[in-house]
A and B are shown apart, each in its own frame.
Chain A
Amino acid sequence: MNILIKRNLKIFFRDRSAVLFSLLAIFIIIALYAVFLGDVWLDDSMQNIKGTNYLMNTWLLAGLLAVASITTTMGAFGVMIDDKVRKINKDFNSAPIKSSQITFGYIGSAFLIGVIISIITVFVSDIYIVFCGGMWMTLIELLKVILLVIFTTATNTSIVCFIVSFFNSHSAFSTASTILGTSIGFLTGIYLPIGALPKSVQFVIKLFPVSHAASLLRQVLMEDAMKASFSEIPANHLNEFKEYMGVTFRFGDSVVPWWLSVLILVFTATLFYGLSIINLSKRIH
């Protein structure tokens, strides 16, 4: 493994406050649900659906996983800012390692941290879901979720990396991470169901690539719960529900198929990795 990935991981996990801070967004989202959002989001017309708890929990987990890797990778990239501020990057640059290796070290470690924390979230949440009367994930579901988590994290890492590549100071970095951390929940439509929001906001959410990661995760995670809840209800209600909750997005008359969401994520990742590498490779002035 790249020695710098190892080093960055070591530094990140040794700084307890950094770890805690990067988990903060996850805690905030959970707290928001526990306190009031959980009661608000189900439309009155859906009160008679059975198993709403199970539905709500899986929906929450999908949204959480979509944004968890944004804030955790943001925290992980803090190491990169630290290195710039403390001028530790000078030490790396004076050693015979390529600048691409250094960049790869930061991106790789941020990605791994994002994946590790997301996967922990998956397991903890699954235990909670079962505890609240839901069902265990099947092995296939679990594999799909992990694959999606890896995929989502890779895309989120690219976006965060691009943003962070502009910063050279702690204050700018922490301002950006606060703004991103608070706005990301709205941009991806995970605080409130997309159907409960105005049309213009819905449009913005549908354009934001991370929302597509949330949608893909919902399709996998909520499948069982939806089957159980909608077994005796006509299919058009299910489709309505899916759109209301952002399980699937609709542009005009056509529903966005899963592969298009995947393509959007791939395109986003490629674009932002490219841009960040250009930005970060200006190491010598």
Chain B
Amino acid sequence: MDKIIEVSNLQKNYSNLCAVKNISFYVERGKLFSFLGSNGAGKSTTIDILCTLMNFDGGEVTIDGLNPRHDRQSIRSIIGVVFQDNVLDPLLTVRENLLIRAEFYQSDRSLIRKSVYEAAQTTELSEFIDQPYCKLSGGQRRRADIARALINTPKILFLDEPTTGLDPQTRKSIWNSIKLLQKKTGMTVFLTTHYMEEAAESDYVIVLDHGEIAAKGTPVELKSKYATDCLRLSVSNEYTLRQILLDFKLNFTMSAGEFIINLPDTMKALPVLEKCKSCISSFQVLQGTMDDAFIGIMGRDIRK
């Protein structure tokens, strides 16, 4: 297995607040990796550490074989970062912004122009490339930010909540471009988000809570482990139904005249339905979503 990012026992304190507590994980090359967590869970801190913007207090970090403590500049030349905030110059046009940023990485005029052209092509921003950055819509700005991050054709692309604050449609389109990009270039994408449905489309997910890893796995694993499938029944004969459910030793709750039964997986609904089809008027079988998994993980933590 080819690990492009390896983190072990990472620790970071802000004066007396512990932002990241001893976390370890790795990211495989060419994969789409998500950091999921609510606000203040330590996502941005971890990203800042990986991008060499912040020192850490304990543990080891390796990025493409490089150590952020010594090889800061070499790491910086192989990463691209899309920050939570818009970090391009508002008064300059997108093209001017990109040309300036491209010069951070190389000095050859024709190569600079080429990389700006390519980044603009991949992010489809040619139609507004000569408009000032401050005149752009939120979605267009994000596209420009991503183009900025791609200017050095990075090996790893970091995205810190790339879709926060965008409307659902734009969010979807930005997200699609990220996925497309990752598929096309095969670069490693590391992103943080607090939208469950976005994390669901990545290869691997780590759920962070209060600076600790609360859960990790592929979205499917997380779903099967933390999200429960459920069966909802509209009742016509309550007494018989209760008897049948007791026979199956199933727990159930009632809400708005419906019986809600949690199931380990959807297939388990079949024998139950077979038995009770005479005393129900309708039914729904719902598979757990990432939302449920997230709530499952966080809820479990709250109970602890």
Closest beta carbon of chain A to B282's beta carbon, Å: 53
Q: Which residues of B from 70 to 119 have beta carbons under 8 Å from A?
A: 73-74, 76-77, 79, 81, 83, 85-92, 96, 100-101, 103-105
Closest beta carbon of chain A to B72's beta carbon, Å: 8
Asked if residues A94 and B51 are in contact (CB atoms below 8 Å), the reply is: yes
- The 8 Å CB contact of B104, one of A10, A15, A87, A96, is A96
Could you say which residues of chain B place their CB within 8 Å of the CB of A96?
73-74, 76-77, 104-105
Asked if residues A11 and B89 are in contact (CB atoms below 8 Å), the reply is: yes
- Does A174 belong to the interface (CB within 8 Å)? no
Could you say which residues of chain B place their CB within 8 Å of the CB of A92?
104
Could you say which residues of chain A place their CB within 8 Å of the CB of B52?
93-94
A10 to B104, CA, bound (A): 16
Asked if residues B76 and A95 are in contact (CB atoms below 8 Å), the reply is: yes
Interface size on B, residues (CB 8 A): 28
By beta carbon, the residue of chain B nearest A13 is B91
Asked if residues B92 and A285 are in contact (CB atoms below 8 Å), the reply is: no
Closest beta carbon of chain A to B113's beta carbon, Å: 14
Asked if residues A14 and B92 are in contact (CB atoms below 8 Å), the reply is: yes
Given contacts A14-B92, A86-B87, A87-B87, contact A94 B105 (CB under 8 A): no
Interface range, A side: 20 to 34
Closest beta carbon of chain B to A102's beta carbon, Å: 10
A95 to B90, CA, bound (A): 19
Chain A proximity mask over B209-243: 1 for CB below 8 Å, otherwise 0: 00000000000000000000000000000000000
Asked if residues B87 and A7 are in contact (CB atoms below 8 Å), the reply is: no
Could you say which residues of chain A place their CB within 8 Å of the CB of B81?
90-91, 94
Asked if residues B100 and A91 are in contact (CB atoms below 8 Å), the reply is: no
Could you say which residues of chain A place their CB within 8 Å of the CB of B92?
7, 10-11, 14
Asked if residues A93 and B53 are in contact (CB atoms below 8 Å), the reply is: yes
Asked if residues B73 and A14 are in contact (CB atoms below 8 Å), the reply is: no
A94 to B74, CA, bound (A): 11
Asked if residues B105 and A95 are in contact (CB atoms below 8 Å), the reply is: yes
By beta carbon, the residue of chain B nearest A89 is B87
Closest beta carbon of chain B to A169's beta carbon, Å: 15
- Does B9 belong to the interface (CB within 8 Å)? no
Asked if residues B100 and A3 are in contact (CB atoms below 8 Å), the reply is: yes
- The 8 Å CB contact of A91, one of B54, B79, B87, B103, is B87
Asked if residues A94 and B55 are in contact (CB atoms below 8 Å), the reply is: no
- Does A6 belong to the interface (CB within 8 Å)? yes
Asked if residues B101 and A95 are in contact (CB atoms below 8 Å), the reply is: yes
A246 to B91, CA, bound (A): 43
Asked if residues A6 and B83 are in contact (CB atoms below 8 Å), the reply is: no
By beta carbon, the residue of chain A nearest B14 is A285
- Does A97 belong to the interface (CB within 8 Å)? yes
Asked if residues A86 and B85 are in contact (CB atoms below 8 Å), the reply is: yes
Closest beta carbon of chain B to A95's beta carbon, Å: 4
A3 to B152, CA, bound (A): 16
Given contacts A3-B104, A96-B104, contact A11 B85 (CB under 8 A): no
Asked if residues A91 and B105 are in contact (CB atoms below 8 Å), the reply is: no
A48 to B86, CA, bound (A): 65
- Does A284 belong to the interface (CB within 8 Å)? yes
- Does B141 belong to the interface (CB within 8 Å)? no
A124 to B74, CA, bound (A): 49
Asked if residues B91 and A95 are in contact (CB atoms below 8 Å), the reply is: no
Given contacts A86-B87, A87-B85, A88-B87, contact A7 B100 (CB under 8 A): yes
Apart from A15-B91, A284-B54, list 10 A-B contacts with CB within 8 A.
A3-B100, A7-B100, A11-B89, A86-B87, A87-B87, A90-B53, A91-B83, A91-B87, A95-B101, A98-B73
**Can you list 29 residue pairs at the A/B interface with Cβ under 8 Å?**
A7-B89, A7-B92, A10-B96, A11-B91, A11-B92, A14-B91, A15-B91, A86-B85, A86-B87, A86-B90, A88-B87, A88-B89, A91-B81, A91-B83, A91-B101, A93-B52, A93-B53, A94-B51, A94-B53, A94-B76, A94-B79, A94-B81, A95-B105, A95-B152, A96-B73, A96-B77, A284-B53, A284-B54, A284-B55
In the A-B complex, the 9 residue pairs with the closest CB atoms: A91-B87, A95-B104, A96-B76, A96-B77, A3-B103, A14-B91, A96-B73, A87-B85, A94-B81
